[in-house]
């Protein structure tokens, strides 16, 4: 298995659906996905159009300065919208966020190794290292399917719980990992959440 950080000289698997996703066996990746009702469609569509145009001019992999520019222009804006608490925010209920955590932990140490995560009222941030032979899209699909089925059953509802797709970023080095962990740790405070409205786990490993 390759090392835990993104290696621009090692093979990279790229797959696309709505967004391009870069994968490298054994590398740590920072992920975000959200509930289906967490962002109004017109707002998200405008963001995606602007982002697509920017990515055409700035294709990855990026150096540190380009990644900072991307984060300031796109990631920070999206995260502010999510933290404003739009939608029903079903995950603020502890018994529902527990079902998401159960999905995340189910194959921990087998198909992947969890580092850090926070389950917010309408979205999830997570750092994970995948084992070889377990593609990221397959792992996320299983997390979403398991948790959606459990939450819909508990609520007596049907239909999609999660928004299709996810955002991902390969982690470059220990400093980058520290920044991602710090963001996860601070996210509930930034969103002014009570202790019962989120679930937080922080990794401590030095790679």
Q: What is the pLDDT of residues 126-183, one digit of tens each?
A: 999 998 889 888 999 999 999 999 999 999 998 899 998 898 888 988 999 999 999 9
Judged on CB neighbours under 10 Å (0-12, 13-18, 19+), 71 is middle
Domain ranges of the chain: 13-201
Is the pLDDT score of 13 beyond 80? Answer: no
Structure tokens, 49: 């159009």
Q: What is the pTM of this model?
A: 0.79
Residues 59-73, mean pLDDT to the nearest whole number: 83
Phi, psi for 61 (deg, rounded to 5): -75, 150
Is 13-201 in CATH node 3.30.70.1290?
yes
CA distance 43 to 41: 5
């Amino acid at each position: 298995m390759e090392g835990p950080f993104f290696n621009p000289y090692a093979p990279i698997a790229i797959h696309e659906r709505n967004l391009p996703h870069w994968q490298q066996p054994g590398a740590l990746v920072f992920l975000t996905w959200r509930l289906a009702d967490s962002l109004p469609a017109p707002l998200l569509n405008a963001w995606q159009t602007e982002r697509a145009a920017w990515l055409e001019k700035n294709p990855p992999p990026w150096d540190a300065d380009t990644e900072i520019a991307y984060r300031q222009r796109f990631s920070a804006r999206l995260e502010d919208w999510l933290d404003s608490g739009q939608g029903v925010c079903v995950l603020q209920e502890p018994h529902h966020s527990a079902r998401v955590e159960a999905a995340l932990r189910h194959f921990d140490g087998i198909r992947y190794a969890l580092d850090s995560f926070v389950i917010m009222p309408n979205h999830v941030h997570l750092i994970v290292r995948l084992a070889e032979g377990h593609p990221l899209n397959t792992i996320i699909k299983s997390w979403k399917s398991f948790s959606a089925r459990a939450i819909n059953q508990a609520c007596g509802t049907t239909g999609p719980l999660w928004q299709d797709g996810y955002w991902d970023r390969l982690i470059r080095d220990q400093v980058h990992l520290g920044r991602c962990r710090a963001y996860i740790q601070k996210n509930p405070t930034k969103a002014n959440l009570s202790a019962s409205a989120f679930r937080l786990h922080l990794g401590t490993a030095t790679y």
